[in-house]
Amino acid sequence: MTIGFEVLARDGKARRGRLTTAHGEVDTPVFMPLATTGTVKAMTPEGVAATSARIVLGNTYHLMLRPGADRIYALGGLHRFMNWPYAILTDSGGFQVMSLAARRTITETGVTFRSHLDGSLYQLTPERSVEIQHQLGADVTMALDECTLYQSSREAVASSTELTMRWAERSRRAFVERAGHGVFGIVQGGVHPDLRLRATERLIDIGFDGYAVGGLAVGEGQATMFAVLDVTVPALPNDRPRYLMGVGKPADLVGAVLRGIDMFDCVLPTRSGRTAQAFTARGTVNLRNARHADDPAPLDPECRCPACTGYSRAYLHHLCRSGEILGSMLLTAHNLRYYADLMAAMRAAIEAGSLADFAAAFESSQ
């Protein structure tokens, strides 16, 4: 058996589910913090777990370059290497490779590229990407795909999508079945409904443990992203998890859950934590603003994180203006707790059949 997925409740198109992996259960809808290089920036693994996160995302591209998949494998796999006992999903590295532009060449075989670290030459094929993710010990492996730019022509997107589907078939064949581990295919197709539906049909024919929607949040805007989801998500299997890659802002998450998405990842909460931005129940707060300098109130009185229960806005403002590492640590922990609480609230609303009311209240509070 591979990974398991069960839908426990529904509210409209939204689902409350549970993903079962080799490293424990993950309640969905879920947000996955980024542990791109084997660490969630400015956080300890224990701190990440304290936010209630039970799955994080690692990245094939970055880990294959440094410290190397062979080294991580020899040291017992990524879970042991980074001291994370819960589930890990690994991105295939495709998006990072594609962003190298002049440093890479794409062929039917795969992608040849030069490392952004030292210029060394590498080749990443669907088979090699899956092999690396196996060495890392990922609970969820992602098929290698090509993500086109938002400005790409329809012809370029169509050609790229067909290549991604051929790579998906090779990725699926390369995946080694084992208990508690699974492989997801990635739906590409830009903003073109027919290409999205064609890719979805092909991926279902191949047969994956879960299905991701890629190639969004790349400049198309929220309305267009939601329109793509409105076309794509209903065509995906009801008994498999659905993962929207690289998304996003809190409002994006709420809208995507309403449309049936189960899993998310994004750099936003951790990056914002390092740049003095905090997400709260009443919107985003910039702790660098001078108005916080004498404020003894907590950042968010409704939050249970260490930043909100132990420190004032004035102190957080001081840390951020002084460039102290503790400021990044506290705000990152807060943002990850905010995202985790948002997902937990949506899970509860789905169970209660009140997600539409929750979404309306959320929108009015921002």
Cα–Cα distance for residue pair 121/103, rounded to 1 Å: 9
Report domain 4-265's class.
alpha beta
pLDDT for residue 150: 85
Residue 100: band (very low, low, confident or very high) from pLDDT cuts 50, 70, 90:
confident
HSE, CB side, 13 Å, CA atoms: give it for residue 94. 31
What's the rounded mean pLDDT across residues 107-123?
91
pLDDT tens digits, 257-300: 999 999 999 999 999 999 999 999 999 999 999 999 999 999 99
Q: Please, what is the end-to-end C-alpha distance for the chain in angstroms?
A: 43
Report pLDDT for 151: 86
Sequence spans of domains, the chain: 4-265, 267-366
| β-strand partners of 233 | none
What does the pLDDT look like over 300-316, one tens digit per residue?
Answer: 999 999 999 999 999 99
Return the SS3 of 11.
strand
Examine the pLDDT at 99 and tell me if it is beyond 80.
no
265 counts as catalytic: yes
Model pLDDT for residues 213-236, shown as the tens digit of each residue: 999 999 999 999 999 999 999 999
Q: Which of 183, 179, 186 is nearest to 21 (CA)?
A: 179
Q: Is the pLDDT of residue 95 over 90?
A: no
Which residues does 99 contact at the CB level (< 8 Å), separation at least 6?
A: none
Per-residue confidence band for 4, with pLDDT thresholds at 50, 70 and 90: very high
| Residue 158 confidence class, pLDDT cut points 50, 70, 90 | very high
Clarify whether 91 is annotated catalytic.
yes
Give the model's pLDDT for residue 195. Answer: 98
> Tell me, what's the pLDDT at 352?
98
What pLDDT is recorded for position 116?
Answer: 86
Tens of pLDDT along 167-221? 999 999 999 999 999 999 999 999 999 999 999 999 999 999 999 999 999 999 9
The residues, ordered by sequence, that sit 6+ positions from 101 with a Cβ below 8 Å of its Cβ are none
| pLDDT value of residue 165 | 98
CA distances from 270 to 43, 260, 337 (A): 9, 25, 11
Per-residue pLDDT reduced to its tens digit, 12-51: 999 999 999 999 999 999 999 999 999 999 999 999 999 9
pLDDT averaged over every residue in the chain: 96
> Which of 11, 91, 145, 209 is labelled catalytic?
91
pLDDT at 162 over 90: yes
Question: Which of 11, 139, 265, 341 does the annotation list as catalytic?
Answer: 265
Task: Tell me the per-residue pLDDT of 119-130, one tens digit each, with 9 for 90 and over.
Answer: 999 999 999 999
Residue 104 pLDDT greater than 90, yes or no:
no
